[in-house]
Structure 1
Amino acid sequence: MARILIADDEPTILQFCTFALEREKHTIITAETGPDALAKLKASKPDLLLLDVMLPGMDGYTLQLQMAEDERLFRVPVIVMSALKPALSLFSKFAQVSASLVKPFQPEELNQAVNRALNDERIKELKYHPYM
């Protein structure tokens, strides 16, 4: 199945997502800070990123900006997660964002979003256009 990076600083969310996605036979990589997530993105180029909006060291928005500007990472689909629904709208300008989840969410919601993101042909066909 897919290799998925989960970037979240809440241990319960990391455990919940890891458990739900490993049940579906995905390989999971975790990161608890923005800089750690960026390093793991570059090192392992996962098939999907689950991204928390609020991360220590570098917030999710800044991380998404860096991904969008990196020719190696701009086609990695992203699912944004936040307990604050209004924060999710900040990510609407990024074509790489396939879905958003408001915490707390159910395993079924997570699995549906992951399946949609992994099969999102629109992201696979994106042309590289850095924002800067």
Structure 2
Amino acid sequence: MAKILIADDEPEVLDFCRFSLQKLSHDLVEVQSGQDLIGKIKSEKPDLLILDVMLPGMDGYTVQLQMAEDGALSKIPVIVITALKPAESLFEKFPQVASVLSKPFSSERLAEAVREALSGSRK
């Protein structure tokens, strides 16, 4: 069982992710703000981060930049979720970004991306 940290400011998206991933039996931790997200990642030590681009407090790109500069955090795989189409090219330079999912995405696609990210695959 993996620990997955989900960072999104929309309660509906958090609910959807929780519903989609419950059947995979992972330990899910949710946050709704980018503020103190780096601290939360350090304290929770997730096996995977699902990261929204548009977060209050600190946006997902800034979170990703800080993670890339931190030796321990740079090893955590990330699935970026976004409603912004250009985000894929923004995040493709980060080796720890396993996948970029454009909203809306299906429950099946999210589960597939999680399995791939936890197995070390990159799309």
Shorter-chain TM-score tier: over 0.9
How far the C-alpha of 1:38 sits from its partner, in A, is 1.6
| Residues 81 and 88 in structure 1, CA contact (< 8 A), matched pair in contact too | no
**Aligned residue-pair number:** 122
**Is the counterpart of residue 42 in structure 1 residue 38 in structure 2?**
no
Task: Name the structure 1 match of 2:120.
Answer: 120
Task: Name the structure 1 match of 2:64.
Answer: 64
Q: CA RMSD in A?
A: 1.2
Task: Name the structure 2 match of 1:24.
Answer: 24
% same residue: 59
Task: Name the structure 2 match of 1:77.
Answer: 77
1:101 & 1:113 partners in 2: Cα distance? 8
How far the C-alpha of 1:39 sits from its partner, in A, is 1.9
TM-score (norm 2): 0.94
1:106 & 1:30 partners in 2: Cα distance? 19
Q: Which runs of 5+ in 2 are unaligned?
A: none
1:106 & 1:36 partners in 2: Cα distance? 29
Which one-letter code corresponds to 2:10 in the other structure? E
1:121 & 1:109 partners in 2: Cα distance? 14
1:66 & 1:57 partners in 2: Cα distance? 14
Q: Which runs of 5+ in 1 are unaligned?
A: 123-132
